[in-house]
Amino acid sequence: MSIATDFKAFVLRGNVVDLAVGVVIGVAFGKIVSSLVDQIIMPPIGMLIGGVDFSAYKWILQAAGADGKGEVAVQYGAFFNTMIQFLIIAAAIFVVVQLVNHMVKKQEAAPAPPAADVVLLTEIRDLLRTRP
């Protein structure tokens, strides 16, 4: 087989396509969560704390030059926002995994019918018990 044929077989395999779809949906979900945190959750929290914009919090290690460039800063406010985004995403994934596990448990709860030889042996045992 050629490399192109092998690559085509690899890409068209079901798991790879599912993974690609999952990654695309994950990126879109990440953008939604970023917007949720930056534009909906953090402004009220900042207002309650006293009009604080967390994304603007930083520890300046080297001030910017006269041209406004060259600032070196540790932006711990942006990190705080990112941590909140992570917690929201982790909670959402946790809920999805719990729902999937709950559905799988319901499907596994139904016991499989016994095999034909087990049924036959059970009938033979019951017949032998009824004999004097």
- Residue 44: give its domain's CATH number: 1.10.1200.120
Query: Which residue has tokens 């042996």?
Result: 121
Q: Looking at the 3D structure of the chain, how many domains does it have?
A: 1
Q: Is residue 61 a part of any domain in this protein?
A: yes
- Model confidence at 69: pLDDT above 70: yes
Q: Is residue 128 part of a domain?
A: no
Query: Is residue 130 situated within a structural domain?
Result: no
Residue 93 lies in a domain: yes
Residue closest to 86 by CA, chosen among 128, 10, 29, 2: 29
**Whole-number pLDDT of residue 26:** 84
Neighbours of 54 (CB within 10 A): 20
Q: In which band, very low, low, confident or very high, does the pLDDT at 46 lie, cut at 50, 70 and 90?
A: confident
3-state SS assignment for residue 52: coil
Q: For residue 53, what pLDDT band results from cuts at 50, 70 and 90? A: confident
Confidence of residue 4 (pLDDT cuts 50, 70, 90): confident
Q: What is the largest CA-CA distance in the chain?
A: 108
Q: From the CB of residue 21, how many other CB atoms can be counted at a distance below 10 Å?
A: 10
Domain that holds residue 61: 3-123
**Residue of 58, 26, 57, 59 lying closest to 42 (CA atoms):** 57
Question: Which range, of 36-50, 59-73, 103-117, averages the lowest pLDDT?
Answer: 103-117
